[in-house]
Chains A and B, each alone.
Chain A
Amino acid sequence: MRIKAVLDNGVEIRELLLDAEMTHQLTGINLEKAKEMAHEALDQGVVLTEFEGMITGKYFEVSGNNTGRYLIVKTITPVTITLNAAEIEAAVEVV
């Protein structure tokens, strides 16, 4: 079990590959649990939906090995950006 995802900063994208261990670390779901979920719902799709809910639309910082197409993820951590209105306003005034 693994996750393929796209990391997008608005300027460029990276395709990410999370192996079973990284997937477990990020989502708390391992293959056993995933099987269980699919079994209960009688639908394999629930696992993907669950992952999507946890990951998409959120901000992460990622490091890993860049191969041809995929970035093999070694670490992935949620990031928090704080809205610094004063700083942004200063930038607006400079323009």
Chain B
Amino acid sequence: MSEDNKSQTQYKREPAVRLFAQELSQTTVAISKEQGEKADRFAPSYSYSPTGARINRVFIVGTLTEIDEIGGDSNFIKGRLVDATGAINIMAGQYQPEVSGILRRLSDKLPAFVAIVGKPNIYKPKDGGSYTSIRPESVQIVDQKAVEMFTAETAKRTVERISLLKKAVSDGNGSEDLKMVIAAYNPNIEDLKNMVRVAIGKIPPNTNNQTTTNGDGGGVKTQPPAPEKGVSKEAAKAELSKDQNVISAHILLKDMCTLSEDGSVGGSVFVDRIVQRKLASADTALTLIKSVMDQGLAYEPTMGRLKAVA
């Protein structure tokens, strides 16, 4: 297919980038379309992931763990896709009737392995924060083998991206895109490498490279990790108390959810309560909530509200 052909006749379909849920959920940089004479409303828009992937479309395989209808007229249907590294929300609206239908039919078959092709959607409310979800174009049930294949392929691609990123960080050269990514995310190469290690089951999630006796490789962590011998006691203690706060915050949220009418709790109310209970200060409360969510212990059923995962 020649380049000329492409630009003259039509826009070529954008490839679906392979990346893990964690990386996708941390993707916060979206480039708005170019303005000016050359502006073209059919030009694709792109997001940039922490490893520097330029994304218009994604392919991700994982476990669909929950499905919720959002809004009274069931205009939106929300799903949650979890892989070894993290989780990402799937939001299908009235303009994806087929996918919404598939998701609805899946809701009593959960959890299920699914392969999803879709476009990233980054929502940045005025009061801060950034929420990334996938607007699905296709959802298919797959088997565990497909999950393994996706993991293998995505790990390889992710390592390739990290490698390029590291080069660009160390020598300051690299494409404009990469420079922008570095400026936006200030990436920690070791954290990104750990994400791949987690994905292939070499280290358990959320433990910063500590070896633990936490039985399940890819699931939600239910107990604080037993620190490895090499780790200093201080660090282990800090890690432990941080984890305990996460657990306490989770229990607190669970209690609050049980008492609330719709089973969820407003974000700001929860922050107040966290501060009140001295689990975190007003400044660090959001970080704590984020850790709770990162560990899959809570999620946002609607923007600004939190719900505990039992």
Mark A residues whose CB is within 8 Å of B.
6, 8-13, 15, 52-53, 56-59, 66, 68-69, 80-85, 88-89, 91-92, 94-95
Contact = CB atoms under 8 A, between A and B. Distances in A.
Given A11-B15, A58-B142, A85-B202, A92 B159 contact: yes
A52 B138 CA distance: 9
Contact of A88 (B12, B14, B117, B200): B200
B259 interface: no
Contact of A10 (B5, B59, B163): B59
A69 B1 contact: yes
A91 B202 CA distance: 13
Interface stretch (B143-151, B236-244, B273-281): B143-151
6 contacts: A56-B140, A57-B114, A58-B142, A58-B146, A68-B1, A68-B5
Given A66-B1, A88-B159, A6 B200 contact: no
Given A10-B16, A84-B152, 4 more contacts: A52-B140, A56-B115, A57-B61, A59-B153
B15 A12 contact: yes
A87 to B, nearest CB: 9
Nearest to A94: B163
Contact of A95 (B163, B201, B202): B163
**Size class of the contact patch on chain B:** 35 or more
A83 B151 contact: yes
Nearest to A59: B149
B15 A10 contact: yes
Contact of A57 (B146, B148, B200, B202): B146
Interface of B: 1, 5, 12-18, 59, 61, 114-117, 138, 140-142, 145-146, 148-149, 151-153, 155-157, 159, 162-163, 166, 189, 193, 196-197, 200-202
A83 B12 contact: no
A91 B159 contact: yes
Give 6 nearest A-B pairs by CB, closest first.
Answer: A57-B115, A83-B152, A57-B140, A85-B200, A81-B149, A10-B18
A57 B149 contact: no
Contact of B117 (A11, A57, A59, A89): A57
A95 B196 CA distance: 12
A58 B149 CA distance: 9
Given A10-B16, A92-B196, A53 B140 contact: yes
A14 to B, nearest CB: 8
A89 B200 contact: yes
Nearest to B195: A92
Nearest to B160: A91
B196 A56 contact: no
Given A8-B16, A57-B138, A88 B155 contact: yes
Contacts of A69: 1, 5
B145 A80 contact: yes
A10 B5 CA distance: 21
A92 B193 contact: yes
A91 B151 CA distance: 15
A85 B148 CA distance: 11
Nearest to A70: B1
A80 to B, nearest CB: 7
